[in-house]
Structure 1
Amino acid sequence: MFNGARYDGILFDCDGVLVDSERITSRVWAGLLTNIGLPTTTEQSLATYLGNSMARCLEIVTEQLGHTPPDSLLTDFYAQVKVALASEVVAVDGIVEVLDALDAADVGYGVASNGEHEKMETTLGATGLLSRFEGRRFSAVDVARPKPAPDLFLHAAQQLGFAPSRTIVVEDSPLGVFGASTAGMTVIGYAELVSPERLMAAGAVHTVFNLRELLAFIR
């Protein structure tokens, strides 16, 4: 696909696509929500908050609690999740091979995440991927609206010189898939946590269960 010059490059989501962090962050978040009176399991946390910006997560918590959560919720989350990610996170299986293939084919790539830059630096640093995305990391804090709005994808593509219609995006959440699709990009859904049906319904044109399946699109 890339060798046929149909696409300029590829954008990856970070959490759940580059780094296996979703269950770690969901576990920490669930524990903190339970502590403030909103009993939540890790699986419930994944189902409710996957792919959302932190601002949206706080809105959901406020809706469910019926009042604003304590200020300590956010500070405790950032402190605890940083420690957990630094010691537990690993690269998603197959991503190093995919990045190696993109480098070998001279195909550009970047990361577009609803997570903050500091979080990306923690997770990508802990997994040895940070240097591969130097100057190619884009966060929702860089734009007016986070995913599911298309803003972040359009911003990342512009900065990297990719035409939206010639950009592939790999996403693992329906929110991210929808945002990239709305941006006019071709979306491949990584169905590790979410069913292929949900990702396709959000706008993915193809789904994979293992990132090594992406190699077929590169070679």
Structure 2
Amino acid sequence: MTNAAIQALICDCDGVLIDSEAVAAAVLVRELEARWPGATVAPVLMPLLGQRIERVLGGTSEALGRSLAAADVDAIRAVAEREAAEAPLFPGVVEALDAIALPKACASNSYTAVVRRVLERTGLARFFGERIYCADIVAKPKPAPDVYLAAAHGIGVVPQACIVVEDSVTGVSAARAAGMTVLGFIGGAHVGGEAHALELREVGAQAIFDDMRMLPALVADWMRKTEARAL
């Protein structure tokens, strides 16, 4: 049963809670260039970040006219996930989550086991509990809305009562497809400044910010506006 009176915060993990996307991207580029001598991988790969690693690898392979064996895909993904999972928290994220008195969930395109390890290692598990919704438990990964709809259902709220923090075009597209308000975070080492901010706005991010210490005020403003419209 959903409760239209309750509001909720849903966060992506990589690139939102931990500064991991640049780490993962560096691994993917390194591993692909080792397998494809002479290939210039980064300009093709970087715009694909936010999708499942398998899709990033597949899209890069297709664009460059190269191929990867299934064993290579598995090996590269394992290395990227292992190194990215050790990335640091964004400054201010703990304080921001502490300051926002809403039910919280984490919705990621990664695997549930990986996200659980990250949340436990960083101490963020206390904010999310069992409310972790990843691409391996739904029919379709982002940019499909499935993980976000699963998160809303798990919290017990309607999608329109959820505000999402995302860092990628893929993620913003997924949350908007679910009918949720989205804040675009551009504080990660992988983000390309104003061009990336424009891309997030174009796919539906309501506001853009680059410092997690700004998040409580942005959420509070959304709550006030949502409550005012309900009167």
Using structure 1 for the length normalisation, give the TM-score.
0.86
Question: Could you report, residue by residue, the CA deviation over 1:151-195 in whole angstroms, capped at 9, with x for unpaired residues?
Answer: 111111111112111110000001111111111100100022152
Residue 105 (structure 2) pairs with residue 110 (structure 1): yes
Q: What is the SS of the residue equivalent to 1:10? A: strand
Partner of 2:228: none
Q: How far is 1:120 from its partner? A: 1.0
CA 1:7–1:168: 2 relative to 1, 3 Å: farther
Question: Match for 1:148: what amino acid?
Answer: P
* 1:153 to 2:145 alignment: no
8 Å contact 1:82–1:119 — kept in the other structure? Answer: yes
Whether the aligned pair in 1 keeps the contact of 2:54 and 2:73 (CA below 8 Å) is no
- What residue is the counterpart of 1:97 in the other structure? 95
> Shift in Å at residue 82 of structure 1?
4.4
Q: Which residue of 2 aligns with 1:189?
A: 184
Instruction: State yes or no: 1:71 paired with 2:66.
Output: no
Once residues 55 and 218 of structure 1 are traced to their aligned partners in structure 2, the CA distance between those partners, rounded to angstroms, is: 33
| Alpha-carbon distance change, 175 to 123 in structure 1, aligned in 2, over 3 angstroms | same
Please state whether the residue corresponding to 1:90 is helix, strand or coil. Answer: coil
Classify 1:218/1:65 alpha carbon distance in 2 versus 1 (closer, same or farther; 3 Å).
Answer: closer
Opposite residue 213 of structure 2, the aligned amino acid is R
Q: Distance in 2 between matches of 1:145 and 1:134?
A: 23
The residue aligned with 1:178 is 173
The 8 Å contact of residues 29 and 77 in structure 1, kept in 2 or not, is answered as yes
User: In the aligned structure 2, how far is the partner of 1:82 from the partner of 1:187?
Assistant: 25
Q: Deviations over 1:79-125 (max 9, x none)?
A: 42344235x411111110111112xx3x1011000011122133223
1:169 equivalent to 2:170? Answer no
Q: Structure 1 residues 76-85 or 145-154, which shifts more?
A: 76-85
Number of the residue aligned with 1:85 = 84
| Contact 2:24–2:81 (Cα < 8 Å) also in 1 | no
> In 2, Cα distance between the equivalents of 1:199 and 1:40?
26
Distance 1:61 1:41 in 2: 7
Pairwise CA distance, 1:144 = 1.0
Deviations 1:184-208 (A, max 9, x none): 1001000221522111101011111
- Does the aligned pair in 2 maintain the 1:140–1:152 contact within 8 Å? yes
Amino acid aligned to 1:22: E
Q: Give the number of equivalent residue pairs.
A: 210
CA-atom RMSD in angstroms:
2.2
Q: 1:22 to 1:8 in 2, by over 3 A?
A: same
CA distance in 1, matches of 2:124, 2:56: 27
Q: Note the residue ranges of structure 2 that are not aligned, 5 or more in a row.
A: 221-231
Distance 2:47 2:87 in 1: 21
Taking structure 2 as the reference length, the TM-score comes to 0.82
Q: In percent, how many aligned pairs have the same letter?
A: 35
Is 1:89–1:127's contact at 8 Å kept on the other side of the alignment? no
